[in-house]
A = this chain, B = another copy of it.
Amino acid sequence: MKALEEKIIRDGHVAKGDILKVDSFLNHQIDVKFMNEIGKEFKRLYADKQIDKILTIEASGIGIACITAQYFDVPVVFAKKTKTKNIYGDVYTSKVESFTHGTTYDIILSKEFLKKGEKVLIIDDFLAKGNALIGLIDLVKNANAEIVGAGIVIEKAFQDGGKRVREDYGVNVESLARIKSMSYEKGIEFTN
């Protein structure tokens, strides 16, 4: 998505330690008008598919998922991160390893909100090592629901998450911007 690549170059930057900062429009401040363009693009990419529900994970996926859900006319359900398993009663759980924080946490989803056979589109802001996305895929499988695919705003294509999810899990992933390389010194390069 050309407009997204331009937005990342214009409003984002690579901080020291080669960290991509897009918190001016994606994951701290949210440019809601631009998220509408993101939502329309996900709809275009999955236009011919039946989608019953959009699944995401707290926190920064929620805004994108809600805006996107308007174009599919479906509800959103978000997995919650927790260290205290099963406090919510009857839930699906999965473990996610956090690269950023060096910890492992559980994600939970109430069984009430994901039923057998439901067709699910997973939406998230980032795909890097793929752990959060694989956790969500795991929840959908536990529910015997059907994963139609995933929609990711920014994929760090130089990490192996995309390959894991596409090849090992056989899930279709549409990423609106795929970063081939990035560094504080040289900036950002995209790939298709």
Chain A residues near B (Cβ < 8 Å): 23-25, 28-33, 35-36, 58-60, 62-63, 65-67, 69-70, 73-78, 80, 110, 112-113
Complex Cα–Cα for A65 and B64 (A): 11
Contacts of A110 in B (CB 8 A): 23, 28-29
User: In the bound complex, do residue B78 and residue A28 qualify as a contact, i.e. CB atoms below 8 Å apart?
Assistant: yes
Among the interface residues A60, A63, A110, which one has the most CB atoms of the partner chain B within 10 A? A63
| Nearest CB of chain B from residue A145's CB, rounded to whole Å | 14
| Nearest CB of chain B from residue A160's CB, rounded to whole Å | 26
User: A36-B70, A66-B66 known; A31 and B80 CB under 8 Å?
Assistant: no
User: In the bound complex, do residue A69 and residue B28 qualify as a contact, i.e. CB atoms below 8 Å apart?
Assistant: no
Complex Cα–Cα for A74 and B23 (A): 16
User: In the bound complex, do residue B32 and residue A75 qualify as a contact, i.e. CB atoms below 8 Å apart?
Assistant: yes
Q: Which 6 A-B pairs have the closest CB atoms?
A: A58-B59, A63-B66, A59-B59, A32-B69, A29-B113, A30-B76
